[in-house]
Chains A and B, each alone.
Chain A
Amino acid sequence: MRTRHRSFDLRELLRRSSVVLILLALCVVLTLLSNRFLTASNLLNVALQTSIMAIVAIGMTFTILTGGIDLSVGSVVALCGALAAGLIVRDGLNTYLAIGLALLVGGALGVVSGLLIVKGNIPPFVATLSVMAVGRGLTLVYTQGRPIAGLGESFVFWGTGKVGPIPVPVLILALVFVGAYVVLTRTRFGLYVYAIGGNEETARLAGINTEWIKIAVYVVSGLTSALTGVLLTARLWSAQPTAGVGLELDAIAAPVLGGTSLFGGVGSVGGTLVGAFIMGVLSNGLNLLEVSAYYQRVIKGVVFILAVMLDLYTKRRRR
């Protein structure tokens, strides 16, 4: 029993650090291929680009840990970003009030997804796919299909500002990450999330309020998406109706690359962060190497498939 225990942990450790090793290897390769990669300004740029997606990926990690998924993130990003911008530009609302309302709407969309899943017994894939469609539609209605521009400094600061050398979105990512890490590893809610993903039936019979927890993870995902919508709008100085299209792929690929199992119950936000940076560094590297944006999507798709195959393979090993 003892030796088995130890070798199991070793494999686990190897599996975890293997993602970090992939990230490092990727960085080394890019350093060799492009002399522009390993510069302070480029690395900060990578961090800035990645932070937008990584926040969504952290929210996504919660849903995936319960064995669910949230496909609506891209639409929620667009809708909440547009809403924040619209409330400020059209309705003259105070910046913080507008951001607060945008977050509220993001959370509410999470409640909708959660209720569809828990009370409507609709599979998460289908429920959030419909919320994705509705969210995108509402964004187009609200923006009339045109960008909303004309934002003031106090708003734009959240996407373009810096504290010392660090871009604000990167700082916010750090806060979100620490918060999510603490919640998942130190709180009752976090443990219940893992428990439901590990075995929902057991969790229900153990008296855990599985419905409430499942709704809550979609609220978390809605909030992180709304936050990202605000940051993205601020960074671009305007809300784009097509913001976040296809974002769900990156946001799912990051946790899965980072060892979060699509079957639920296994994974960590630390892994998600590393996974997000793999995706981010990859994008940045492909840009530096002047690979066309069309091919970049092909490559991302392939990386995603490889990550899912790794998940399936390790699941079989666990059995």
Chain B
Amino acid sequence: MDYDDFVLRMERISKQFPGVQALDDVTFRVARGEIHALVGENGAGKSTLMKILTGAIPCDSGQIILRGQEVEIDSPGRAQQLGISMIHQELALIPYLNIGQNIYLGREPRGRLPGLIAWSQLYSQAQGQLARLNMDLDPLTLVVDLPIAQQQMVEVAKALSFNADIIVMDEPTSALTERETDTLFEVMRTLKAQGVTIIFISHRLEEVFEIADRVTVLRDGRLIGVAPITEVSTDDVVRMMVGRELGEMYPKQTVARQDVVLRVQGLTRGNELRDVSLELRRGEILGVAGLVGAGRTPLARALFGIDPIERGEIWVDGQAVRINSPRTAIRLGMGFVPEDRKEQGLFLGMAVRENITIGVLDRKSILGFLRFRELDRLAEGYVQQLDIRTPSLRQRVRNLSGGNQQKVVIARWLTLHPKILILDEPTRGIDVGAKAEIHALMNRLAGEGVGIIMISSELPEILGISDRILVMRQGQIVGEFTRQEATQDAIMLCAAGGRGNAH
């Protein structure tokens, strides 16, 4: 294949978000008719780059040259006109319309009278698009009746119906079984044979090596390298993705081994969680690593009683327990700092005081009447202890910075003195200073005997403060590392499905 016959060149693209250089002078070139993998850790800049390509956001500087012509892509509609389509991780089909209606939504061929649709023409065209994918599906089938993999095919057919010759696929395999993945790859090869160029974003390196012609690696918003897939090994790619050295950012006090506070055996919930077992000791920080969709958040939600489990047993302090609601979990001494603090962790329109104290109101009220002075004292204590920067206790949480908002969520749990604290991405989107404070706080809590489970997509964070690290993939725990034996490469490889330390 001629890798110099570029269909698309994104030259020296930069993009800044408040506080983050998302892309720094990145050049990304794709040859006509290749399957080009784009890889990198979470936050490396893959999505930002693709959003710029598909017109979802503008870039600060740089140019896009499409088929030799410089183009301006200022809207998703413009990208479609130019033959660029993106298939998102979350499918955007309308479940109770059929395949044909979904493919031509908003572009239905007109019938003889105004307002009518030429249905037979629509369905035969839809059939034609499906045939290009070697898909034998009836265009009259409702999308809701299709398995995810076939819904994805409908998305692909829809992209093709725009005459797209560049298709971006964002983590298309994350929801697919192995066999479905094979079918998808078959379709990708068919498209490639028809001259369609595919940009393939995936965390799963085994898949990248199976399907891609070349791979581009991004890290921290910068281009790290481009190579034909035959010229690199999995280890090379992992090294390029991870790259950085661990500084002394994470001072770690180790605590003597103590009793098991939480034991989990065979936790199962659909495909999200498959036979997960683990132990957590008092004073231990257990890091849970894995890629997006590996089952880390479902694990946290299952432990905290948010989503019901199908099978599995849980012991807290040696007592077998059934946790079927967050209330039960809280009564057992658990706390949960969710990943999405705005949607699940905070009452944005309410004051700092109410946000901190709402968990302990039964103890801070008499006959249902709130003792506001007590609430003030309690909230004030945590504001000082955690150094929450707010002009007053009456300030609405909406107006605080991300780091201070997160401290408010943590403060709410501290008022309940939990034995077990589960933190899902506790420092995502938080500035460096607040991040270090939250890490210090976690260390201090562990020192006081709290068992902590920390889910994080940031490997330096996982390595920096965990006593022990579990790696999840496809709903299972696929590796366990002690603090001493863990390295970024080993965890990444394990998470992406290469050699692991499987037990």
Give CA–CA (A203, B338) in the complex, Å: 12
Distance (whole angstroms) from the CB of B60 to the closest CB of chain A = 25
**B-side contacts of A318, CB under 8 Å:** 349, 398
Q: Given A186-B370, A204-B326, A206-B412, does the pair A191, B345 have CB atoms closer than 8 Å?
A: no
Contact assessment for B391 and A1 in the assembled complex, using a CB-CB cutoff below 8 Å? yes
**B-side contacts of A195, CB under 8 Å:** 347, 350, 354, 358
Give CA–CA (A1, B390) in the complex, Å: 8
Contact assessment for B349 and A186 in the assembled complex, using a CB-CB cutoff below 8 Å? no
Contact assessment for A265 and B327 in the assembled complex, using a CB-CB cutoff below 8 Å? no
Give CA–CA (A265, B351) in the complex, Å: 12
Contact assessment for A207 and B359 in the assembled complex, using a CB-CB cutoff below 8 Å? yes
Contact assessment for A188 and B326 in the assembled complex, using a CB-CB cutoff below 8 Å? no
* Interface residue stretch chosen among A2-10, A164-172, A277-285: A2-10
Give CA–CA (A191, B344) in the complex, Å: 17
Contact assessment for A2 and B345 in the assembled complex, using a CB-CB cutoff below 8 Å? no
Task: Name the CB-closest residue of A to B354.
Answer: A191
Distance (whole angstroms) from the CB of B363 to the closest CB of chain A = 10
Residue B477, interface by CB 8 Å: no
Interface residues of B in 354-390 (CB under 8 A from A): 354, 358-359, 361-362, 365, 368-370, 390
Interface residues of A in 1-21 (CB under 8 A from B): 1-2, 4-5, 8
Residue B47, interface by CB 8 Å: no
Residue B224, interface by CB 8 Å: no
Distance (whole angstroms) from the CB of B87 to the closest CB of chain A = 29
Contact assessment for B350 and A194 in the assembled complex, using a CB-CB cutoff below 8 Å? yes
Number of A-B contacts (CB under 8 A): 79
Distance (whole angstroms) from the CB of A264 to the closest CB of chain B = 10
Residue B306, interface by CB 8 Å: yes
Contact assessment for A187 and B350 in the assembled complex, using a CB-CB cutoff below 8 Å? no
Q: Given A198-B348, A205-B306, A206-B412, does the pair A187, B391 have CB atoms closer than 8 Å?
A: no
Distance (whole angstroms) from the CB of B366 to the closest CB of chain A = 10
**A-side contacts of B326, CB under 8 Å:** 204-207
Give CA–CA (A188, B359) in the complex, Å: 11
Size category, A interface: 20 to 34
Distance (whole angstroms) from the CB of B47 to the closest CB of chain A = 23
Out of A1, A188, A205, A208, name the residue touching B368 (CB < 8 Å). A188
**A-side contacts of B396, CB under 8 Å:** 8
Contact assessment for B346 and A199 in the assembled complex, using a CB-CB cutoff below 8 Å? yes
Residue B210, interface by CB 8 Å: no
Task: Name the CB-closest residue of A to B412.
Answer: A206
Contact assessment for A187 and B345 in the assembled complex, using a CB-CB cutoff below 8 Å? no
Give CA–CA (A265, B355) in the complex, Å: 13
Give CA–CA (A189, B344) in the complex, Å: 20
Task: Name the CB-closest residue of A to B327.
Answer: A207
Interface residues of A in 192-241 (CB under 8 A from B): 192, 194-195, 198-199, 201-209
Total interface residues in chain B, CB < 8 Å: 32
Residue B410, interface by CB 8 Å: no
Interface residues of A in 264-293 (CB under 8 A from B): 265-266
**A-side contacts of B362, CB under 8 Å:** 188
**A-side contacts of B399, CB under 8 Å:** 1, 4-5, 8
Q: Given A188-B370, A207-B327, does the pair A198, B343 have CB atoms closer than 8 Å?
A: no
Residue B304, interface by CB 8 Å: yes
Q: Given A206-B359, A207-B326, does the pair A199, B369 have CB atoms closer than 8 Å?
A: no
Interface string of B179-195 (1 = CB under 8 A from A): 00000000000000000
Interface string of B12-43 (1 = CB under 8 A from A): 00000000000000000000000000000000
Out of B306, B343, B358, B391, name the residue touching A2 (CB < 8 Å). B391
Contact assessment for A186 and B369 in the assembled complex, using a CB-CB cutoff below 8 Å? yes
Contact assessment for A187 and B344 in the assembled complex, using a CB-CB cutoff below 8 Å? no
Residue B490, interface by CB 8 Å: no
Contact assessment for B391 and A5 in the assembled complex, using a CB-CB cutoff below 8 Å? yes
Q: Given A4-B399, A5-B395, A205-B336, does the pair A187, B369 have CB atoms closer than 8 Å?
A: yes
**B-side contacts of A209, CB under 8 Å:** 327
Out of A5, A199, A201, name the residue touching B348 (CB < 8 Å). A199
Contact assessment for A189 and B368 in the assembled complex, using a CB-CB cutoff below 8 Å? yes
Give CA–CA (A203, B349) in the complex, Å: 13
Residue B261, interface by CB 8 Å: no
Task: Name the CB-closest residue of B to A207.
Answer: B330
Contact assessment for B306 and A198 in the assembled complex, using a CB-CB cutoff below 8 Å? no
**A-side contacts of B330, CB under 8 Å:** 207
Task: Count chain B CB atoms within 10 A of each CB in A201, A202, A204, A266 and give the residue with the most.
Answer: A202
**B-side contacts of A198, CB under 8 Å:** 347-350
Contact assessment for B358 and A206 in the assembled complex, using a CB-CB cutoff below 8 Å? yes
Contact assessment for B369 and A202 in the assembled complex, using a CB-CB cutoff below 8 Å? no
Give CA–CA (A163, B354) in the complex, Å: 41
Contact assessment for B327 and A201 in the assembled complex, using a CB-CB cutoff below 8 Å? no
Distance (whole angstroms) from the CB of A217 to the closest CB of chain B = 15
Task: Name the CB-closest residue of A to B350.
Answer: A198
Give CA–CA (A166, B359) in the complex, Å: 43
**B-side contacts of A205, CB under 8 Å:** 304, 306, 326, 336, 338, 344-345
**A-side contacts of B358, CB under 8 Å:** 191-192, 195, 203, 206, 208
Contact assessment for A265 and B349 in the assembled complex, using a CB-CB cutoff below 8 Å? yes
| Nearest 3 pairs of A and B residues by beta carbon | A207-B330, A198-B347, A188-B361
A–B pairs, 8, beta carbons within 8 Å: A187-B368, A187-B370, A188-B370, A195-B347, A195-B358, A202-B345, A209-B327, A265-B349
Measured CB to CB, the residues of B under 8 A from A are: 304, 306, 326-327, 330, 336, 338, 343-350, 354, 358-359, 361-362, 365, 368-370, 390-392, 395-396, 398-399, 412
* 17 new A-B contacts at CB < 8 Å, known A1-B391, A205-B338, A265-B347: A187-B365, A188-B362, A188-B370, A191-B361, A191-B370, A195-B358, A198-B348, A198-B350, A199-B346, A202-B343, A204-B306, A205-B336, A205-B344, A207-B327, A208-B358, A265-B350, A318-B398
